[in-house]
């Protein structure tokens, strides 16, 4: 067992691509840490640096209290499982699993016993005498996992080990990995871009985007109290409602979020009110998960939006409604592109804005143009569809005028850069 500490670890690939930007992170002894983020954000690069398969450009890696930047991979006592766990095709399952122990010249009787025991835990004991070519994808991944675990490494690194499997197999193997790794107590760093995998497996989740650490915490902390709009959006199983509002404090009575056609009040008794009031007169971003909204009667006089049902969507266990409400929508704010830093250019506002436009989706481009001094309620903003959960029996029909109750306590408040206005509790 071992702890893993990254101290401002940076990776610049030959050619100048900045793949990981000053990542500082700690996996405690025996912890199951999940590294989550979209494709290309630098997850594999980070894992490969920990394994010693990729050089660290800057910063320090500590394994078990020892600085380990220059340790050879074989001296790190780290085992890694890849997305396509490559097996030796001419060896049997038993031969594949035994291989790391044979190389270490372990006692053959012990090897046999260990492989048999582990194959039972992984439910592949019936396949021990078969070759990899005769196995299913799920079975092959189990063998790859067994081969990595068999010599009981100090640190276990897994790079999307389940992503090539079908949904049923993923769920099954996910539970098995969780119980197996926990029973061994090996420090594990597990890479995925699947938020369900992250939430279900992790002791803690570290979430990154474009090579930059966005947030780290227990699944509950980062789901309920995300540090950035990116984290909130990435962890939402249904699309996060992201709206633009102007902060007002009329006669200092309360804080008002002005969405143009709608207003929501944040009373001074709300612990977030003071922090939001510091943005009076400016635009902020409001994130609302569909479960913070609910259909209400016309007579309801609590916090609410009104609108018209554009469409209903059937999801098997529930219906979702898309409600046109006329509030301005915003795209998820992205952190500045680190490629600029790698090329040695400083980020002036103009350059940064230009790059954001180059990489942003169409509606974000709109935003950028409109942010320049225009009234958010009046321009050509994309209008938000509120996504509302209706349960198993929708009381609404398309085109119906409706009222949507808002759980103000569950609003997430971000600056236009996507940072939290009220600091997350960690």
Ligand X SMILES: Nc1ncnc2c1ncn2[C@@H]1O[C@H](COP(=O)(O)OP(=O)(O)OP(=O)(O)O)[C@@H](O)[C@H]1O
Please give the residue ranges that form the binding site for Mg ion (CB under 5 A).
44
Contacts of 359 by beta carbon, 8 Å cutoff, 6+ apart: 334, 337
Q: Name which position in 193, 254, 310, 356 contacts ligand X (CB under 6 A).
A: 193
HSE at residue 142, side-chain half, CA atoms within 13 A, is 27
Q: How far is the CB of 227 from ligand X (least distance, A)?
A: 19
Number of residues that bind ligand X (CB under 6 A): 13
Binding of ligand X at residue 45 (CB under 6 A)? yes
Of 32-40, 66-74, 311-319, 387-395, the segment contacting ligand X by CB under 6 A is: 32-40
- Using an 8 Å Cβ cutoff, are 232 and 291 in contact? no
Binding of ligand X at residue 13 (CB under 6 A)? yes
Q: Name which position in 6, 12, 19, 34 contacts ligand X (CB under 6 A).
A: 19
Contacts of 393 by beta carbon, 8 Å cutoff, 6+ apart: 319
Q: How far is the CB of 382 from ligand X (least distance, A)?
A: 28
Of 39-47, 116-124, 287-295, 345-353, the segment contacting ligand X by CB under 6 A is: 39-47
Q: Site mask, ligand X, residues 136-175, x = CB under 6 A? A: ----------------------------------------
> Could you give the 3-state DSSP secondary structure of residue 300?
coil
> Could you give the 3-state DSSP secondary structure of residue 241?
strand
Binding of ligand X at residue 43 (CB under 6 A)? yes
Q: How far is the CB of 344 from ligand X (least distance, A)?
A: 17
Q: What is the DSSP letter of 393?
A: S
The answer for 147, left when phi > 0, alpha when psi is -120 to 50, beta otherwise, is: alpha
**Buried (b) or exposed (e) across 284-301, using 16+ Cβ within 10 A?**
bbbbbbbebbbbbeeeee
Would you say 78 or 323 has its CB closer to Mg ion? 78
Q: What is the DSSP letter of 372?
A: T
347: its two tokens: 């980020």
Which of Mg ion, ligand X, none interacts with 401 (beta carbon under 5 to 8 A by kind)?
none
Of 43-51, 92-100, 143-151, 309-317, the segment contacting ligand X by CB under 6 A is: 43-51
Of 41-49, 131-139, 325-333, 395-403, the segment contacting ligand X by CB under 6 A is: 41-49
Q: How far is the CB of 163 from Mg ion (least distance, A)?
A: 9
Q: What are phi and psi of 322, to 5 degrees?
A: -105, 115
> Could you give the 3-state DSSP secondary structure of residue 422?
coil
Would you say 44 or 209 has its CB closer to Mg ion? 44
Q: How far is the CB of 179 from Mg ion (least distance, A)?
A: 25
Would you say 127 or 192 has its CB closer to Mg ion? 192
End-to-end Cα, the chain, rounded Å: 26
Q: How far is the CB of 159 from Mg ion (least distance, A)?
A: 6
Among all chains, which residue has been given the structure tokens 């190389």? 103
Give dist(CA 244, CA 327) in Å, integer.
7
Would you say 161 or 307 has its CB closer to Mg ion? 161
Binding of ligand X at residue 44 (CB under 6 A)? yes
Would you say 193 or 310 has its CB closer to Mg ion? 193
Binding of ligand X at residue 25 (CB under 6 A)? no
Q: 290-293 long-range contacts, Cβ below 8 Å, gap at least 24?
A: 290/236, 290/238, 290/239, 290/241, 290/320, 290/387, 290/388, 290/389, 291/389, 291/410, 292/406, 292/407, 292/410, 292/411, 293/241, 293/386, 293/387, 293/388, 293/389, 293/404, 293/405, 293/406, 293/407
Which of Mg ion, ligand X, none interacts with 128 (beta carbon under 5 to 8 A by kind)?
none
Binding of ligand X at residue 42 (CB under 6 A)? yes
Would you say 37 or 226 has its CB closer to ligand X? 37
In a 10 Å sphere around its CB, with 0-12 CB exposed, 13-18 middle and 19+ buried, how is residue 39 labelled?
exposed
Would you say 19 or 293 has its CB closer to ligand X? 19
Binding of ligand X at residue 40 (CB under 6 A)? yes
Give dist(CA 106, CA 119) in Å, integer.
18
Would you say 12 or 199 has its CB closer to ligand X? 12
Q: Show contacts with ligand X in window 265-304 (CB under 6 A).
A: none
CA distances from 256 to 137, 233, 280, 298, 416 (A): 54, 24, 9, 22, 17
Would you say 97 or 213 has its CB closer to Mg ion? 213
- Using an 8 Å Cβ cutoff, are 406 and 243 in contact? no
Q: How far is the CB of 234 from ligand X (least distance, A)?
A: 13
Would you say 44 or 246 has its CB closer to Mg ion? 44
Binding of ligand X at residue 396 (CB under 6 A)? no
Q: What are phi and psi of 46, to 5 degrees?
A: -65, -45
Contact footprint for ligand X (CB under 6 A): 13, 15, 17, 19, 37, 39-45, 193
């Amino acid at each position: 067992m071992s702890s893993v500490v990254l101290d401002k670890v940076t990776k610049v690939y030959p050619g100048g691509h900045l793949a990981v930007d000053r990542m500082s992170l700690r996996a405690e002894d025996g912890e199951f840490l999940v590294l989550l983020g979209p494709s290309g954000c630098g997850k594999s690069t980070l894992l490969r640096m920990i394994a010693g398969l990729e050089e660290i450009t800057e910063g320090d890696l500590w394994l078990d209290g020892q600085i380990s930047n220059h340790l050879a991979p074989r001296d790190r006592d780290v085992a890694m499982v890849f997305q396509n766990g490559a097996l030796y095709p001419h060896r049997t399952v038993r031969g594949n699993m035994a291989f790391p122990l044979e190389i270490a010249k372990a006692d053959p009787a012990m090897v046999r016993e260990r492989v048999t025991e582990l194959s039972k835990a992984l439910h592949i004991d019936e396949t021990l005498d078969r070759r990899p070519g005769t196995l299913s994808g799920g079975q092959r991944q189990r063998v790859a996992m067994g081969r990595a675990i068999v010599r009981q490494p100090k640190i276990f690194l897994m790079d999307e080990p389940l992503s090539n499997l079908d949904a049923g197999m993923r769920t099954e193997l996910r539970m098995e990995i969780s119980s197996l790794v926990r029973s061994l107590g090996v420090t594990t760093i597990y890479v995925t871009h699947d938020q369900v995998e992250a939430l279900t497996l992790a002791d803690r989740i570290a979430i990154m985007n474009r090579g930059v650490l966005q947030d780290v915490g227990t699944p509950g902390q980062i789901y309920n109290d995300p540090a950035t709009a990116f984290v909130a959006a990435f962890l939402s199983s249904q699309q996060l409602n992201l709206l633009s509002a102007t902060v007002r404090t009329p006669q200092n009575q309360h804080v008002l979020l002005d969405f143009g056609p709608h207003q929501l009040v944040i009373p001074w008794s709300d612990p977030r009110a003071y922090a939001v009031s510091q943005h009076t007169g400016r635009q902020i971003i409001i994130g609302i998960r569909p479960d913070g909204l609910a259909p209400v009667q016309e007579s309801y006089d609590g916090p609410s939006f009104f609108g018209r049902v554009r469409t209903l969507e059937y999801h098997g266990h529930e219906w979702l409604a898309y409600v046109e409400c006329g509030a301005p929508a915003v795209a998820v704010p992205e952190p500045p592109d680190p490629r600029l830093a790698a090329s040695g250019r400083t980020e002036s506002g103009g350059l940064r804005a230009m790059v954001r436009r180059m990489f942003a989706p169409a509606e974000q481009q709109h935003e950028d143009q409109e942010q320049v001094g225009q009234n958010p309620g009046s321009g050509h903003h994309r209008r938000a569809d509120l996504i509302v959960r209706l349960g198993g029996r929708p009381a609404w029909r398309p085109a119906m005028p409706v009222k949507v109750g808002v759980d103000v306590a569950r609003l997430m408040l971000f600056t236009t850069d996507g940072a939290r206005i009220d600091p997350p509790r960690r």
